[in-house]
Amino acid sequence: MQLTISNLNKEYSNGVKALQNLDLSIKSGMFGLLGPNGAGKSTLMRTLATLQEPDNGEVWLDDINVLKEKEKVKQILGYLPQEFGLYKGVTAENLMVYFARMKNVYSSAGLKKTVHYLLEKVNLYSDRKKHVNTFSGGMKQRLGIALTLTGDPSLIIVDEPTAGLDPAERVRFNNLLSDISQDKIVVLSTHIVDDVSDLCAQMAIMDKGRLKIQGRPSELLLRLEGKIWEKQITKEEYDLYEMDHNIIYSQLFEGNPLIRVFSEHLPEEGFRPSNPCLEDLYFSTIKNIELCGG
């Protein structure tokens, strides 16, 4: 199965160009879409989910025209938006039954069995009789995935699914996403670099509506091999180093900045080489630092 996006454009009435000549090819498995807020990720996700029309362009899921054959797409689509509402006065089990009936793909005899199977899959079976308004943020997200899986979709789109989750819930949620992606296309839109690093064999980075880079994380990181250097400096020195070096990003360590710099050679004495990570790739791409082979 393959999702093919060609020359997709979307400009809003306020002049914001959310998608600009976007070309993207996505195969089965987990695909990570990285980008800062305002990159156009959610616009793309809503377009793929048939909830929003682009100005022009094409989207194909194998031989299905996603933009013109929306009913076909909806039969094989699971979509978990960044924010989704749940009926507060209903139990998880009853909500699942309601959504399963809306999908109209289960017989009456198999419906309850399927609902129980999905709740078990997301580790909510023991909570099936509880009202969803009593659920934690992570439990609601897992219930959202169970609802998304109703009908056994072959294309699953999840938009910023781990935003706001505590670390333990985030790990559980990511493990669940990994489990369901074996024979499906799962598009994970996020600004959390570690989620893509942990889960995705394919990825792309977007910024300001444009595709900046696409490929396997391990192969993309080879472009940074031997070119990442780090050094701990004082806060007072930061502005000077920023003027003289390509600082990709910095983080505080024991109260002082630990800077990571892109350079073909040793920037100056005191820097030490560092293995590149996906955060290096992400920030250098967003900052338009020219990478070898980019």
Query: Confidence band (pLDDT; 50, 70, 90) for 100?
Result: confident
Q: Is the pTM of this model over 0.95?
A: no
**Got the DSSP string for 161-184?**
TTTT--HHHHHHHHHHHHHHTTTS
Encoded tokens for 66: 């996603």
- Whole-number pLDDT of residue 200: 93
Q: Please say whether the beta carbons of 247 and 259 come within 8 A.
A: yes
**End-to-end CA gap in the chain:** 27
Q: Please say whether the beta carbons of 150 and 78 come within 8 A.
A: yes
Judged by phi (left if over 0) then psi (alpha if -120 to 50, else beta), residue 188 lies in: beta
Q: What would the pLDDT profile of 20-31 be if each residue is shown by its tens digit?
A: 999 999 999 999
Task: Report, as an integer, the average pLDDT of 117-121.
Answer: 90
Those residues whose C-beta lies under 8 Å from the C-beta of residue 125, and which sit 6 or more positions away, are 116, 119
Fold exhibited by the domain 2-216: Rossmann fold (3.40.50)
Q: What would the pLDDT profile of 201-246 be if each residue is shown by its tens digit?
A: 999 999 999 999 999 999 999 999 999 999 999 999 999 999 999 9
Say how far apart CA 286 and CA 228 lie, in whole Å. Answer: 16
Encoded tokens for 244: 């003289």
Q: What would the pLDDT profile of 146-192 be if each residue is shown by its tens digit?
A: 898 888 899 999 988 877 777 887 888 788 888 888 789 999 998 88
Backbone dihedral angles phi then psi of residue 101, each to the nearest 5 degrees: -65, -35
Those residues whose C-beta lies under 8 Å from the C-beta of residue 51, and which sit 6 or more positions away, are 79
Residue 8, amino acid: L
Give how far Cα 27 sits from Cα of 145, 177, 219, Å. 20, 16, 17
Domain assignments of the chain as residue spans, ordered by start? 2-216, 226-275
